[in-house]
Structure 1
């Protein structure tokens, strides 16, 4: 089994999670490359001011999560690597993931447009793009969420960093990125990376800062306003591309399949 360029976001004090992902990787002869998670409740007052956390668009936990992923994108861009596999420490990499890893890398090597490949089945309209052993393997998706396991290339990382500076929406807002023509979304037919059920129930983000008291309608309105501000500052050519892509997306929905996640 060959190694691959990746990072696993993990808080130092999350010992059980780190031990679980360590065992998961080592079973396949790979040492995980850990990235020390940025915790929102550990940010200084000055950092919080610069990040404008008081705007309320994200909780402290979500902010730390976004900053961790964005920091990994910067690491990739500082390297010569064309893409990076990103995992959170509540992920579980299946045997199929390691078996299919050469094919995943081949797919990333041969697709140069800004893109993210979700290593699980997205709940979205999808269309088959790659078959393997006469079975669906990789799908094009018109949406998606979650960030416990995915691959992102340089162009997509650059585009997200341009938008999320500072971060204002959750890092896994894949559909929003796509609507702004920042990337294309692909996903797997099978769940190559699953959520560890034990750790997924114990959300680190929620323990840092619960969002139960947040007004969802207010948050939706604020996100829309912030995304509109980003759109307003784009060039005319960029706006035309976005409008064209949005129109094409509506057409695609008629012949893409509406999928449910694989078990």
Structure 2
């Protein structure tokens, strides 16, 4: 299987001394890769660098074999992303928000806008101004924008943030459907580790700016009683104990 994403030795240190150090990992075509870590571990920083929203001090990113620094248009051509909070213009309707977003892509038709609104359960509210949307609805609108171009690779940072149980399940169903039926590859981050276990085949655990564990979920969980949550907590606590020595 081909690498969709290659991240090598990414390093970015902020003025406060925090950041990421020598982060490396690959994502293969068809993977649903879960990026797990405590708040401030560096997950969003890595995603921002991948999408060119901030610069690394060292390292490289290749998407579909194209360097994101020297060949950005080719690298990001088939990528959809939602990083941190969804970008929503509240004075516009949901439909007009997506119509504006569609200008960044080729061949996004009004029918495609309606299709993604239906996909995220916003079709009944598409003509309402986004100012009246709940946090969860705005998050789903951001997901719809990320889906517009029928991406082959999606980067979603906390896609279920602000969603109720039904909305969370809907996002899970969308991810599973796109991965299985349309061979879309994913890089996800979330604090809902139970949800990650249900959709991800591979995970990377990041703590204090470094990847401390990575592998297939099936290989990392050694018995039927172990959950991804218990495995994650064990890795984080063992890391703290090592640093305390």
TM over 0.5: no
Kindly indicate which of the two structures has a greater share of residues assigned to helix: 1
Q: Could you state the TM-score of these two structures normalised by the residue count of structure 1?
A: 0.26
